[in-house]
Amino acid sequence: MQRFLSIALALCVGLTLSLDANAKRFGGGKSSGAAPMHQTRQAAPSTPAAAPTAPGRAPAAASGASRWLGPLAGIAAGGLLASMFMGDGFQGMQIFDFLIIGLIAFLVFRFIAARRRQQQPQHAAAGHAPYQREVQPQAAPQSIFGGSSSQAAAPAINAPAWFNEASFLAAARSHFQSLQQHWDANEMDKIAEFVTPQMLDFLKRERADQGDGFQSTYIDDLDVQLDGVEDRADKTIATLTFRGVSKTSRFDQGEVFSESWHMERAQGENQPWLLAGIRQNA
């Protein structure tokens, strides 16, 4: 009986820390739909980049094994706790035993706190309509990118009078995170409000391949830039580029990504911006 409880405790702790192991970010990291019409501009220095390496030292490659560190640590921690609770681990405890217990408690606390921080910021925006529909023209800020890159080419802007660049970028950042949350929760009905019907069909197939269960994906160092806007007779088209680090868990080193979104808005008042395509940038 004690052996069974030990194994059960180890599995529970391991599964708790490995909920993110098989998660993939929104869209599965693939190109699909209508190709963005504007070229991606040079990334600003604030964009996540590989850290420089010392001369003569090969850069450290991100190993796929890093995503298993969380589950392995959880199983090890579960086994240790089971051994201590079911055996004689608490008889004649030494200072090292207290340090191990403290370390396990610290890791569990960090894991729960990180998950709460990931889920809380965007709840307010998740229920709103996609992007800002109609805004009054405002004075443009001196630099929507914080003056971080003077070498980047200016975006190709042929926007209607109602378009406000700063508001559009702020909404884009918020909705990127909201779509990721809906993706993790497999809420395709909510994603349908943000994308074209053709894009929704692709996303449904991609999400079904990952199973119906809830997953967690962490996006760190998210950066968004506007590559261009084109106002046409039937619709307005915009290209947004997102850069950041996608993680399957807080124990994962993460994967740097850069992708451009093809956004469309039909002409007329109070029309939503819809995602029509994704391009993965090399």
pLDDT, tens only, 207-253:
999 888 888 899 999 999 999 999 999 999 999 999 999 998 878 88
pLDDT in the model for residue 169:
97
Q: Rounded CA gap, 97 and 90, in Å?
A: 8
pLDDT in the model for residue 249:
83
Exposure letters 48-76 (e unless 16+ CB within 10 A, then b): beeeeeeeeeeeeeeeeeebebbbebbbe
Q: Rounded CA gap, 147 and 113, in Å?
A: 33
Question: Given the DSSP bridges, would you call strands 32-33 and 274-280 parallel, antiparallel or unpaired?
Answer: antiparallel
pLDDT in the model for residue 253:
87
Q: Rounded CA gap, 182 and 196, in Å?
A: 16
| CA distance between the termini of the chain | 55
Q: Quick one: which H or E segment has residue 18?
A: none
* Positive or negative: CA dihedral 154, 31, 124, 112: negative
pLDDT digits (tens, 9 = 90+) for 70-83: 555 555 555 555 55
Which domains does the chain carry?
2-16+65-119 (no CATH), 26-50+128-280 (3.10.450)
Residues of the chain with pLDDT under 50: 1-21, 44-69, 119-130, 132-151
pLDDT in the model for residue 195:
97
